[in-house]
Amino acid sequence: MINLILIAAGGAAGAVVRYALSGWVQDWASQAPAPLFPWGILVVNATGCLAIGVLTALFTGPFIVRQEYQNFLIVGVLGGYTTFSSFGRDTLSLAQEGQLLLAGLNILLSNGLGLLAVWAGMAAVRARFGG
Q: Does 30 lie in the same domain as 86?
A: yes
Same domain, 68 and 111: no
Answer yes or no: do 76 and 108 share one domain. no
pLDDT tens-digit map of 5-45 = 999 999 999 999 999 999 999 999 888 777 778 889 999 99
Neighbouring C-alpha atoms within 13 Å toward the C-beta of 55: 21
Supply the pTM of this predicted model. 0.79
What's the CA angle centered on 76, arms 73 and 81, to 5 degrees? 95
Residues 92 and 106 in one domain: no
Domain that holds residue 22: 2-97
pLDDT digits (tens, 9 = 90+) for 34-86: 777 888 999 999 999 999 999 999 998 888 899 999 999 999 999 999 988 88
